Amino acid sequence: MQAVGVMAPGQSAWVPRLLIGVAVGLTLLIVVAPLVYIFARAFGEGWQVYAANLMHPATRNAIWLTTITALIVVPVNIAFGIAAAWAVARFRFPGRGLLVTAIEIPFSISPIIAGICYLLLYGRQGLLGPWLQANDLQVMFALPGIVLVTMFVTAPFVAREVLPLMQAQGSEQETAAVTLGASGWQIFTRVTLPNIRWALLYGAVLCTARAVGEFGGVSVVSGNIRGQTNTLPLHVELLFNDLNATGAFAAASVLTLLALVALVVKAVLEGRRAA
């Protein structure tokens, strides 16, 4: 059916060619050029400089902090995504539509607002500030704050991929399993999980990419302490402000590689789902 427009008689060939040309040209200019430029600049002063930039203790520390954050956030998000999808797709209850909207809220709220929300809650002048200080708990300008704000920003990612799939699949198979006497855990591991595994993996990949790249929210709550609470995206900005452009591009190239891996995984999974 897609061919209808193309093969129609009387349509001149230059319109499609022009449109494709403009689309490709704009994409090269706006999307491809920035992507290629990152690597061109990162390696602009040679491999040795690139390796030295990445091995710099502050950069290594930023990579480490970002990795830890993702390792905490992504599993929690997977659990939340599955729970939310199961509740919404398998049961009817009042306020269900509202719940779906609530899950989507982080998509429309700027990460910087999320960061401000957390600061107003856990910061020294925040609602919980006095209590946290009395108990000697440090949330802001430390790992917990970074993790919490990243959880806020990435909350919808897994649920959004799994929920529509579970809704489309319906609950016949799971209901049949219940009838046959399967326990809840058996139903989940043997029926539900195999059915949603690709959507789940895709959601997890997107969630990881987003968690690793989070900037606005983290920049509010991290305090930007060099070598301590500096995640990799924040480190990119720090190096850029230090006028160390090559170093900034080297750090950025690591994030870009991760993003490209996420895209390749996505393409592979989509091919698999279509098959």
Residue 145 as a binder of another protein (CB under 8 A): the answer is no
Question: Pick from 124, 153, 127, 117: which is nearest to 141 by CA?
Answer: 124
Q: Which stretch binds another protein (CB under 8 A): 35-43, 53-61, 134-142, 193-201?
A: 35-43
Residue 267 as a binder of another protein (CB under 8 A): the answer is yes
Task: Restricting to residues 216-235, name those near another protein by CB under 8 A.
Answer: 216, 219-220, 233-234
Q: CA-CA distance, 178 to 223, in Å (whole number)?
A: 51
Element (H, E) at 179: helix 172-179
Among 53, 61, 65, 80, binds another protein (CB under 8 A): 80
Residue 8 as a binder of another protein (CB under 8 A): the answer is yes
Question: Pick from 222, 235, 239: which is nearest to 142 by CA?
Answer: 222
SS3 265: helix
Q: What is the CA radius of gyration of the chain?
A: 23
CA angle 162, 166, 169 (to 5 degrees): 140
Residue 45 as a binder of another protein (CB under 8 A): the answer is no
Residue 4 as a binder of another protein (CB under 8 A): the answer is yes
Query: DSSP label at 30?
Result: I
Among 92, 180, 181, 243, binds another protein (CB under 8 A): 92
Residue 236 as a binder of another protein (CB under 8 A): the answer is yes
Rounded least distance, CB 31 to another protein, Å: 5
Taking the least distance from each CB to another protein, the nearer of 103 and 132 is 103
DSSP string, 79-106: HHHHHHHHHHHH---TTHHHHHHHHHHH
Task: Restricting to residues 96-125, name those near another protein by CB under 8 A.
Answer: 99, 101-106, 108-114, 116-121, 123, 125
Among 83, 137, 193, 225, binds another protein (CB under 8 A): 83
Q: Which stretch binds another protein (CB under 8 A): 56-64, 135-143, 145-153, 193-201?
A: 145-153
Taking the least distance from each CB to another protein, the nearer of 164 and 227 is 164
Q: CA-CA distance, 263 to 257, in Å (whole number)?
A: 10
Following CA atoms 145, 150, 153, 159 in sequence, which dihedral angle do they give, to the nearest 10 degrees? -130
* Joined tokens for residue 178: 């219940």
Half-sphere exposure of 38 (CA within 13 A, CB side): 16
Task: Restricting to residues 160-219, name those near another protein by CB under 8 A.
Answer: 167-168, 170-172, 174-175, 178, 183-184, 187-188, 206, 209, 212-216, 219
Rounded least distance, CB 61 to another protein, Å: 17
Residue 16 as a binder of another protein (CB under 8 A): the answer is yes
Among 38, 132, 146, 250, binds another protein (CB under 8 A): 38
Q: Which stretch binds another protein (CB under 8 A): 18-26, 48-56, 130-138, 196-204?
A: 18-26
In sign, the C-alpha dihedral spanning 216, 221, 223, 227 is negative
